[in-house]
Amino acid sequence: MRSWYKILSVILILYTLVWGLLGNVPRLDILNETIRNVFYHVPIWFAMLFMMTVSLIYSLKTLGSNSLHHDSKAYDAAWIGFFFSIPGITTGSLWAKYTWGTWWTFQDPKLNGVAISILIYTAYFILRSSVEDEQKKAKISAVYNVFAFVMMNVFIMILPRLTDSLHPGNGGNPAFAKYDMDNGMRMVFYPAVIGWILFSFWLFEIKNRISILKNKLND
Amino acid sequence: MTKQLLSFLFLLISAIANAQSLEPQMADTFRQEGKIYVVITVIAMIFVALVVFLVILERKLKSFENKIKN
């Protein structure tokens, strides 16, 4: 089995769980120790974006091949991505409470963009469940998924950079340099991103294997 | 003269002490006691438990896949 990436993901995440709390971080006002959330909150979003990209790829493949297998993979990836957005948004809200002073602010385009994106993907799931015919469902939801992916990128990657945002790296020149990270933090942050992306792929694989079993039982 | 010098010295010390308290607060005492390791171990154990669950789940899946194949 291709289990090397699962082992790698567990090692990377364990390393970041331990070293993210033990390592030195820059001393900054307001943020204080919460700067460590960069190791946990941000990689969750990277995993979500990665899964939505996987979903997009399988949707495009569905359009090219009309294969129901690809459609089911697109659905599973979107499902895992959606799943990751929930801890992403709740941890972000908690972090915002203690640094920006509020659970939710409509001043920040990234927060609202994420909320809209979650609604867009909710519509994807509702759309899927409303079409009876399998082939039709595959095609319609693949087309919608391409639209959903583009809209999500407009809302969480582009718009926050055009206007002012409370999120670092937005509102102007986007770069990791703006995360106030030093090299010590990068040594934890990048492995965390890779680790969680691999972990999300593991969850996606499990979800997909269940889907395949389900389809076989239905036949 | 010595009185003036002493009072200036005290002023200086109080200024330095003030400047130190202005530094951003971090969980220094928390780490000094050393018990942060306990928390980190708890977090790691929970994560490992979840991973073990996933591995068991995968094994179950594998057996189902084999059953359907036959």
State whether B36 and A21 contact (CB < 8 Å).
yes
Give CA–CA dist A165/B63, Å, rounded: 50
Summarize pLDDT for A132-184 with one digit per residue, the tens: 999 999 999 999 999 999 999 999 888 887 777 777 766 554 444 455 678 88
State whether B68 and A206 contact (CB < 8 Å).
no
Q: What is the mean pLDDT of residues A104-133?
A: 92
ipTM value of the model?
Answer: 0.71
Instruction: Report the number of distinct structural domains present in chain A.
Output: 1
Contacts of A139 (CB under 8 A, 6+ apart): A62, A63, A66
For B57, the closest of A17, A18, A206 (CB atoms) is A206
pLDDT of residue A83: 94
For B51, the closest of A10, A22, A29 (CB atoms) is A10
State whether A18 and B40 contact (CB < 8 Å).
yes
Summarize pLDDT for A89-111 with one digit per residue, the tens: 999 999 888 888 889 988 888 88
Summarize pLDDT for A13-69 with one digit per residue, the tens: 999 999 988 888 887 777 788 888 899 999 999 999 999 999 999 999 999 998 999
The tokens for B55 are 């591995």
Instruction: Identify the CA nearest to A137 among candidates A148, A124, A152, A149.
Output: A124
pLDDT of residue A175: 45
Instruction: Decide if A32 touches B, using CB distance below 8 A.
Output: yes
Confidence of residue B34 (pLDDT cuts 50, 70, 90): low
On the 0-12 / 13-18 / 19+ scale of CB atoms within 10 A, A48 is: buried
User: Minimal Cα–Cα distance from A27 to chain B, Å?
Assistant: 6
Chain A partners within 8 Å of B54 (Cβ): 202-203, 206
The three state secondary structure string of A115-179 is HHHHHHHHHHHHHHHHCCCHHHHHHHHHHHHHHHHHHHHHHHHHHHHHCCCCCCCCCCCCCHHHH
The range of the structural domain enclosing residue A147 comes to: 4-218
| Interface residues on B facing A, Cβ-Cβ cutoff 8 A | 23-27, 36, 39-40, 43-44, 47-48, 51, 54, 57-58, 61, 64-65, 68
Phi, psi of A169 (to 5 degrees): 80, 5
State whether B24 and A22 contact (CB < 8 Å).
no
